[in-house]
A and B are shown apart, each in its own frame.
Chain A
Amino acid sequence: QVQLQESGPGLVKPSETLSLTCAVSGYSISSGYYWGWIRQPPGKGLEWIGSIYHSGSTYYNPSLKSRVTISVDTSKNQFSLKLSSVTAADTAVYYCARISGDSRFNWYFDLWGRGTLVTVSS
């Protein structure tokens, strides 16, 4: 079955860049679907970060767009997130997910990774 697994540093210093990778198993990213990142600060709700297609087309949350880069590596069957100039407000559990839906206005997340906690602290 299809599985997603996030990986990356659990601690990042303020002003530095947060980098995470999502490895996909059981399905080839090149075969289709959009893939996305969502985060959840401790005790708070969900926030969409952005999404990417295997071709490299990306869409970002306008509130984070200036600091976010999402990329895909089809040879490794994974996609990645970079968030620059982080502050304590970026401390959250970061999830990667598979996106279904027949248009960008009908996206939904039908398969999620387990999530990884990233803490921003010096």
Chain B
Amino acid sequence: SYELTQPPSVSVSPGQTARITCSGDALPKQYAYWYQQKPGQAPVLVIYKDSERPSGIPERFSGSSSGTTVTLTISGVQAEDEADYYCQSADSSGTSYVVFGGGTKLTVL
């Protein structure tokens, strides 16, 4: 089955830039989406179609794509950004329309 691979954890100090990667063979052909999930809360969409930002999401959140890897970048990280982040995409073979990465815990030191 198709898999999206994320690092289990990323740590940054406040004000620095955090980069969270997501790798998958179909990413050159399929869009990626990113969700932020804080403890006890439902996920929130922060990036869609690789790099688009929904209304209400701070400009410090951005997304990019290069080959089989997509990256969520959080510039000027704030304490409130500490959360789990999940990427999501599709299996281009049509086996599964929705696949999630395993998630990355962002720790703000």
A contacts, CB < 8 Å to B: 36, 45-48, 51, 59, 61-63, 95, 100, 104-110, 112-115
Contact = CB atoms under 8 A, between A and B. Distances in A.
B43 interface: yes
Nearest to A112: B42
Given A109-B35, A115-B42, A45 B101 contact: yes
B103 A105 contact: no
A51 B97 contact: yes
Interface SS of chain B: helix, strand, loop or mixed?
A: loop
A106 B43 contact: no
Given A48-B100, A61-B96, A62-B95, A105 B43 contact: no
A49 B96 CA distance: 10
B17 to A, nearest CB: 24
B95 to A, nearest CB: 6
B88 interface: yes
B92 to A, nearest CB: 7
